[in-house]
Amino acid sequence: MSDPTLILRHANGSRISGYWQDDDYDVFDGGRCVGRIYLVDRYGGNETWFWGLTFEYQRPARKSYESTGSLEEAKAAFRVEYEAWKGTRNSG
Span 47-60, pLDDT tens digits:
999 999 987 665 66
Span 62-92, pLDDT tens digits:
678 899 999 999 999 999 999 887 776 655 5
Cβ atoms within 10 Å, residue 61: 4
> What does the alpha-carbon distance between residue 78 and residue 92 come to, in Å, rounded to a whole number?
22
Backbone angles phi, psi at 61, to 5 degrees: 60, 25
CA-based radius of gyration for the chain: 14
Kindly list the domain boundaries of the chain, sorted by start residue.
6-91
Span 9-51, pLDDT tens digits:
998 888 877 777 889 999 999 888 999 999 998 888 889 999 9
pTM of the model: 0.81
Cβ-contact 26, 11 below 8 angstroms: yes
